Amino acid sequence: MFRLIKYEMRKNITSVVILFAVIMGLEGYFLISALTDSRSHTAISSSLLVIATMVAYFCVCIFGIATYSKELKSKTGYMTFMTPISSFSIIGSKLISTLIEGVFFAILLVVLACTDMALFEAVFPETKLFSSFINMLLESMGVDASGFWLGMLATVIELLVTFFAIVSMAYLAITLSSTAFQNKKYKGVISAVIFIVIVIIVSKVADVLPNIYSNPTSVIEAIVSMVPALIYFTLITVASIFVSGTLLEKKVSL
C-alpha cells in the first residue's frame, strides 16, 4: 500500500508544486504589500489568498478524480489494474494520496492565515477592533477559545468526510460508465452525467436526515448536529468504494 501511495503522489507532483508556487507567490505579494503599508494591495493580495484556498481544495479533488479517470482510459490503467494488487488497495491508495495532498495544503494555509493575521494587526493596529468585536461576539454566545477551536476541528472533519464522499462518488460514476459504456466515444460525458445524478440523489437523501438540534445554542450541540451527516457520507464513501472495487475486479475490461 505504501508503494502505491508513493506512486500516486508522484503522478500529481508537478501540479502540486505549481499550486504551491502560486500560493507562495500570493503570500509574497501579501507580505510585500503589508510591510510597505499599501492598504489597497494588502486587501487585493489577502482576497487572492482566500480565493487560492478554495481553488486548492477543488484542485486536489480534481487531481484525484482526473488520475483515476485517465488510468481507466489509457495503457497505464491496464498496467495498474492488471497487477496482482487488489482493486480496493489501488482505490484506497488514490484516496489516501489525495488526503495527504489535501492535509498538506490545509496545514499550509492555516499556518499562513495565522501568520498573516498577526502581521496584519501589527501593521494596521485599527484592525484589532474587529478582532475584539469577534471575541466579544463569541463570548456572548458562550463560546470560549477551546470551544471555538473544537468547532473549527469539527468543521474540518466534516469537510474531509464530504470531500472523500465526493471523490468516491466520482470514482463510482467513472467506473459505472467504464462498465456499461466501455467502447463508447463519449464515456467522459456519460461519467459526468452519472456523477451529477448520484450527487443529486445523495443530496436529496441528506436533506431529510434527522436534526438532533434544530437550533444549536452551543458548540457541542452544533458538533452533535453534524453526526447524522458524517455517518451518512461515511457510508456513501464506503459503499462507493465497495461497488467501484467490485466492478473493477469483475466487470471492467481494460
Query: What pLDDT does 141 receive?
Result: 56
CA–CA distance, 24 with 9 (Å, rounded to integer): 20
What pLDDT sits at residue 187?
Answer: 73
Residue with cell 471492467: 252
* 3-state secondary structure at position 215: coil
Task: Quote the pLDDT of residue 116.
Answer: 78
Q: Which residue shows C-alpha cell 508544486? A: 17
How confident is the model at residue 184, as a pLDDT? 66
Query: What pLDDT score was predicted for residue 216?
Result: 62
Q: Computed from CA positions of residues 120, 121, 126, 127, in that sequence, does the dihedral angle turn out positive or negative?
A: positive
Q: Residue 197's pLDDT is what?
A: 94
CA distances from 52 to 59, 63, 87 (A): 10, 16, 34
For residue 101, give the C-alpha cell. Answer: 495532498
Contacts of 59 (CB under 8 A, 6+ apart): 15, 19
pLDDT tens sequence for the chain (254 residues): 667 777 777 777 888 888 889 888 988 888 888 888 777 888 888 888 888 888 887 888 888 888 888 777 765 555 555 556 677 888 888 888 888 888 888 788 778 877 877 777 777 666 655 556 556 655 655 555 556 666 677 777 888 888 889 989 999 998 888 777 666 677 778 888 999 999 999 999 988 888 776 666 666 777 778 888 899 999 999 999 999 888 887 755 55
